[in-house]
Chain A
Amino acid sequence: MDDRLQQVFREIFGDDALVVTDDTTAADIPAWDSLAHINLMFAVENEFEIDIPDDRLGSFATVGQLRQFLETRAAAR
């Protein structure tokens, strides 16, 4: 799962050298603005074939929280 998430970040930000960790936040990636966030959320939904509820959309403070959310959803299937 981490490889897929890493790839989504690299493609959305157009940076093949980008490395995200559980501690990465929007403040660490200059291009991570509100528009990029929407693109990112869409790409994550698309890649992992899930819907992220509206109340969770803006709730991920770190990449780690997003990863944990995805793992919970995968486990619930």
Chain B
Amino acid sequence: MSTGQDDGRDAGAAAMRTGLDRARAAEQAGDAAGAVRWALAATDAGDDLAAWSAAAGVVARCLPRAGSLSRKARVAVLGSYTTSQLSALLPVAAARAGVAVEVYECGYGQYRQEILDPSSGLYRFGPDVVVLAVHAGEAQLPAMSQDPAADVAAEAARWTSLWDLLVDRTGARVVQHLFAVPPDVALGHLAASTPGCRATMLAAVNAALGRAAGSRVALVDCDRLAAEVGKRRWFDARYWHRAKQAVSLGCVPLLARHTAAVLGAQLGASRKCLVLDLDNTLWGGVLGEEGLGGIALGDGPAGEAFTAFQDHILELKAKGVILAVCSKNNDADAREVFERHPAMRLRLDDIAMFSASWADKPAQIRQIASTLGIGLDSLVFVDDNPAEREVVRQLVGEVDVIDLPSDPHGYVRALASYPFFETPALTAEDADRAAQYRARAQAAQLAADATSLEDFHRSLAMVATVVPLDEVTLPRVAQLVAKTNQFNLTGRRRSQAELAELAADPRTAVLCVRLTDQFADHGLVAVAIASQEHDVLDIDTWLMSCRVIGRTLEDETAGLLVAEARRRGCRYLRGHHVPTAKNGLVADLFARLGFALAEPASSNGVRSGGAGADGVGADGLRSDRRRSDGGLPERHSGATSWLLAVDGAGSPPGLIQITRTDRELEGTAS
């Protein structure tokens, strides 16, 4: 190991110890939230097993008291090797990813029995997420195959059939660890041209699982993680033979972090927006001193490093990360670089919100979040200046801050190692997101100019289109359900499988709404799911992307629900509001729309509507209820139910033109 890497490891170890010391001090002072924050910061600084174990202890003791995470999940770890360390570290890694988890671990190597046996501990536990933590040695493949295509297909099918069983029986999300292909290959380089070689087949099984996963199963690419740290470090034969550790204990923290990031993305906890400094971050030098011609970009080793960093940022944008600029510069000068510098890869229209001023960065960052209509905890900040990073950490602690190394050649690696931009699936909307958010910022400007809000809304020339829930729209709808936090009445997270089930149920109406205006096609931005119970249409899920809040689309969606209730001959429309940490925005929505507060519908504050008859028995099985609640946040305190008499319902404001394409199949399906 080179001296440079040792130095990096020592610096990381020192930062971990500092974080732990502060966590312990906060814990002793009775500051549970501070203790959790510092313990999580310690895990960011390195991958030392002992320090992670200590951080896990702090989080286990303090997180319940800190109560800072609204997302909760029950996670089952099903392993083919000794997964006790992974299971022990998963809660701290998941807390870092924004989810409080309770972990169930199956017995050593019992993953298949637990899945196949309907009375196993797994099903009694009732998981929201199942992690299949398996290793390459578990793959049922010969050292050399006479029929590699058939062997690969059979092995892939063995796993996909387990996925099917899990989804069918629990509705849980599945997180599958792909195989880390071992580095010791007897066939040598000939293996690369020998499809029947076990190492080659393992890679083929990974690829087959990738194709089969689609957007229903989330994968952790352990082969990439192992390659990143070095495969001989990932797999340590001594610990395999001693204790059946298929992942070296030194790599378990890394595996826990990435598993948690993927799991968090499934539950809507991933970060959405990258906030970029300019001077010495996107180019070398200080623009105000060097001028447009003097900054380092494109030419020379330093210039190439900044260009490579910009290229990586563009790849993040292509997968749906929103870009913002936050710089202390004159606005016109900073924009001129984007418009005129020939080596700039990023263009102005890649940036959803461009903030260059002399205001302090915490103030600029708050402005960016409010203009884009996203939470501070969706932001990730990169800046070469340690002082700016520190002030953002201290004053806007919800923002994640990435430490850039002093040398720009390390920027791509620093950003690529940041795991919380994971997305559950790519959709057509992702690639367009910057355009949509930029349009939102332009529309905000137009709103400032318009004399009345109504004039402004009319000037937007908005058209809403109700589209069917089908194989084209399902991934996007599932993504919205997983990720929408602010305009989300119940916080209920229906899985893709549940959504498909609901769409097929004639008692249930699923309204999927696209919105366009003169600036942008916002894509599919609103979802309402409502189920008929006798003469009541009960709203199971109602949410809207934060991009289109304040456009009266919620009023029009309510109008669509009233029309749906009328069409079905229902007398009442019933809604539920379950308060979460983030949906304060919709606390008064039903009152504003003319709904009346109903008597508490049941003792647990909210009815579990929609998923068929399994919620009927008052003492129904816990796992059944969990399933019908579709990932409803644990605590329902303050939940309210609201009723609207369909006959007396008023008309929506009519500032959006409504069209429908979901009714062509009327009478055959709904």
Q: Which residues of A contact B (CB under 8 A)?
A: 7-8, 10-12, 14-16, 35, 38-39, 42-43, 46-47, 51, 54, 57
Is A14 a contact partner of B242 (Cβ separation < 8 A)?
A: no
- Roughly how many angstroms separate A38 CA and B49 CA in the complex, as a whole number? 12
Which chain B residues (234-252) contact chain A, with CB distance < 8 Å? 238-239, 241-243, 245, 249-250
A-B contact pairs, 23 of them (CB 8 A): A7-B50, A8-B50, A10-B54, A11-B20, A11-B50, A11-B53, A12-B50, A14-B56, A15-B57, A16-B24, A35-B84, A38-B242, A38-B245, A38-B249, A39-B50, A39-B53, A39-B249, A42-B49, A43-B249, A46-B48, A46-B49, A47-B50, A54-B241
* Contact code string B569-582 (vs A, CB < 8 Å = 1, else 0): 00000000000000
Task: Establish whether residues B53 and A12, one from each chain, have CB atoms under 8 Å apart when the complex forms.
Answer: yes
Which residues of the partner chain A approach B552 to less than 8 Å between Cβ atoms? none
**Additional 7 contacts, C-beta under 8 A, given A11-B54, A35-B85, A39-B85:** A11-B20, A12-B50, A14-B60, A35-B84, A39-B50, A39-B53, A54-B241
Residues of A within 8 A of B241 (CB): 54
Q: For residue B202, which residues in chain A have a CB less than 8 angstroms away from its CB?
A: none
CA distance A29 to B154 in the complex (A): 47
CA distance A51 to B236 in the complex (A): 12
Chain B 16-32 per-residue mask, 1 if CB under 8 angstroms from chain A, else 0: 00001000100000000
Known: A38-B243, A39-B85. A46 touches B51 (CB 8 A): no
Task: Determine the chain A residues whose CB is within 8 A of the CB of B243 once the complex forms.
Answer: 35, 38
Interface size counted on chain B using CB atoms at 8 A: 22
Of the residues A8, A14, A46, contact of B57 by C-beta under 8 Å: A14
Interface of A is mostly: helix
Assembly CA distance A60 to B7 (angstroms): 32
Q: Which residues of A contact B50 (CB under 8 A)?
A: 7-8, 11-12, 39, 43, 46-47
Q: Which 8 A-B pairs have the closest CB atoms?
A: A14-B57, A11-B50, A11-B54, A43-B50, A42-B249, A38-B243, A35-B84, A11-B53
Interface pair B239/A42, CB less than 8 Å apart: yes
Q: How far is the CB of A9 from chain B (nearest CB, A)?
A: 9
Q: Are A54 and B238 in contact (CB under 8 A)?
A: yes
Of B24, B50, B85, B238, the most chain A CB neighbours within 10 A belong to: B50
The answer for the CA separation of A14 and B23 in the assembled complex, in Å, is 13
Which chain B residues numbered 44 to 81 have a C-beta less than 8 Å away from chain A?
A: 48-51, 53-54, 56-57, 60
For the complex, give the distance between the alpha carbons of A73 and B57 in Å: 31
A42 and B250: CB pair below 8 A? yes
**Inside 8 A of A38's CB, which chain B residues have their CB?**
239, 242-243, 245, 249
In the assembly, what is the distance between CA of A14 and CA of B24, in Å? 11
Contacts of A12 in B (CB 8 A): 50, 53
| Residue of B with least CB distance to A46 | B250
Distance (whole angstroms) from the CB of B651 to the closest CB of chain A: 61
Q: Mark B128-163, 1 if CB is under 8 A from A, else 0.
A: 000000000000000000000000000000000000
Q: A47–B10 Cα gap in the complex (Å)?
A: 11
CA distance A42 to B84 in the complex (A): 14
Least CB distance, B611 to chain A, in whole angstroms:
39
Q: Nearest chain A CB to B209's CB is how many angstroms away?
A: 30
- Closest beta carbon of chain A to B27's beta carbon, Å: 9
A7 to B13, CA, bound (A): 13
> Once the chains bind, are B238 and A43 in contact (CB under 8 Å)?
no
Docked complex Cα distance between A51 and B238 (Å): 10
Q: A42-B249, A46-B48, A46-B250 known; A54 and B242 CB under 8 Å?
A: yes
- What is the bound-complex CA distance between A35 and B239, given in angstroms? 12
What is the CA–CA distance of A39 and B54 in the complex, to the nearest angstrom?
12
**Chain B residues whose CB sits within 8 angstroms of the CB of A47 once the complex forms:** 50
Given A39-B249, A42-B249, A42-B250, CB of A14 within 8 Å of CB of B53: yes
Chain B contacts for A16, CB-based, 8 A: 24, 54
The chain A residue with its CB closest to the CB of B51 is A11
* Chain B residues near A57 (CB-CB < 8 A): 242
CB pair A39–B49 under 8 Å, yes or no, is: yes
A15, A42, A46, A47 — most chain B CB neighbours (10 Å): A42
**B248-279 CB contacts (< 8 Å) to partner A:** 249-250
- What residues on B are CB-neighbors of A39 within 8 Å? 49-50, 53, 85, 249
- Let me know if A14 and B84 touch, CB within 8 A: no
Inter-subunit contact B54/A14 (CB<8 Å): yes
Per-residue A-contact encoding for B400-440, CB less than 8 Å = 1, 0 else:
00000000000000000000000000000000000000000
A60 to chain B, nearest CB (A): 14
Chain A residues with Cβ below 8 Å from B85 are: 35, 39
CB closest residue in chain B, given A47: B50
Nearest residue (CB) in A for B241 is: A54
Return the chain A residue nearest B56 by Cβ: A14
Complex Cα distance, B241 from A42, in Å, reads 14
What's the minimum C-beta distance from A53 to chain B, rounded to whole angstroms? 9
What residue in chain A is nearest B28 (Cβ atoms)?
Answer: A16
Residues of A within 8 A of B245 (CB): 38
Whole-angstrom CA separation of A43 from B50 in the bound complex: 6
CA A24 to CA B238, docked complex, whole Å: 26
A35–B87 CA distance with the chains assembled, in angstroms = 13
- B49 touches which of A15, A43, A51, A54 (Cβ 8 Å): A43
Cα of A38 to Cα of B57 in the assembled complex, Å: 18
- CA–CA, A8 to B52, complex, Å? 11
- Bound complex: CA of A70 vs CA of B175, how far in Å? 41
Query: Which B residues are CB-close (under 8 A) to A42?
Result: 49, 239, 249-250
A7 to B16, CA, bound (A): 13
| A47–B17 CA distance with the chains assembled, in angstroms | 13
**Set of chain A residues within 8 Å of B49, measured between Cβ atoms:** 39, 42-43, 46
